[in-house]
Amino acid sequence: MRLPSIARERRGTMGDRLVWQAASLLLAYPDDGHAARLDTVEELLAHLSGPAAELLRRTLTALRALDPMTAAARYVETFDMQRRATMYLTYWTAGDTRNRGKEMLSFADAYRAAGARPPCAEAPDHLPVLLEFAATVSPEIGRRLLTEHRVPIDVVARALSAAGSPYAHTVAAIGTTLPEPNDRQARRAQRLAESGPPVESVGLQPFTLTVPPRRGPGG
């Protein structure tokens, strides 16, 4: 028996939300709540199947094999020590330019439009923040923002894959919930990966969320 289209759509949306929530937790900084978040991901994966679930499990397995200090150090090395894998999405669309302030504001405005307060402890364009928003607050607005930033997400996935990072599997899992990139988007992702974003300089302004803000080993 074929499911009615609305039922199929709802089932797909729920599956995507589970992927987004699991990815948000896996991409969070490994602080004192790291082990508990991995347990939650394990529970979420019990309700998922298919390529995305397999990709998420690969990251989960790799992170479970690391002691807390090593996990934290590798996270910082991966995401903080080099910008080529930064998860601040507006960095890829606007670089360190004045336009970035407007793009950050558009994220905050989207969260407010869904009835959520923008986060205080992290910038609104940080990928784990956006994923949690899409999973728990507004899948419609969240999907739109993720789709609009498909190119930056692909750039991050490429950088993580090239570095042999287990986080690459999680970012690839996010991609399975989004429309396939067209040729123009693929070319743009390639250019960004090779030459980086525009350059200049601007300050940022960041919802109390369950994923912690990114910080270094001593912070």
Check which CATH number belongs to the domain holding 94 and give it. 1.10.3480
Domain count, the chain: 1
**Mind listing the pLDDT tens digit of every residue in the chain (219 residues)?**
455 544 444 556 899 999 999 999 999 999 999 999 999 999 999 999 999 999 999 999 999 999 999 999 999 999 988 788 889 998 887 776 667 888 889 999 999 999 999 888 899 999 999 999 999 999 999 999 999 899 889 889 989 999 999 999 999 999 999 988 666 655 665 666 556 555 554 443 444 455 555 555 444
Residue 97 located in a structural domain: yes
Distance CA 201, CA 167 (A): 28
Token duo for residue 152: 């930056």
Joined together, the tokens standing for residue 184 give 């123009």
List, in order, residues 6 or more apart from 169 with CB less than 8 Å away. 55, 56, 58, 59
Distance, in Å, from the CA atom of 131 to the CA atom of 163, rounded to the nearest integer, reads 23
- Residue 217 inside a domain? The answer is no
Which tokens hold the place of 15? 């599956």
Single-letter residue type at 86: T
- Comparing C-alpha atoms, which of 160, 81, 162, 164 is closest to residue 127? 160
Q: Which helix (H) or strand (E) holds 39?
A: helix 34-45
> Is residue 32 assigned to a domain?
yes
Question: Does the residue 170 lie in any domain?
Answer: yes
Question: Could you give the CA distance from residue 34 to residue 100 in angstroms, rounded to a whole number?
Answer: 31
| Rounded Cα gap, residues 74 and 110, in angstroms | 32
Q: Which amino acid does the sequence have at 203?
A: G
Full domain range(s) for residue 42: 8-195
Inside any domain, residue 204: no
Give how far the C-alpha of residue 40 lies from the chain's centroid of Cα atoms, to the nearest Å.
Answer: 17
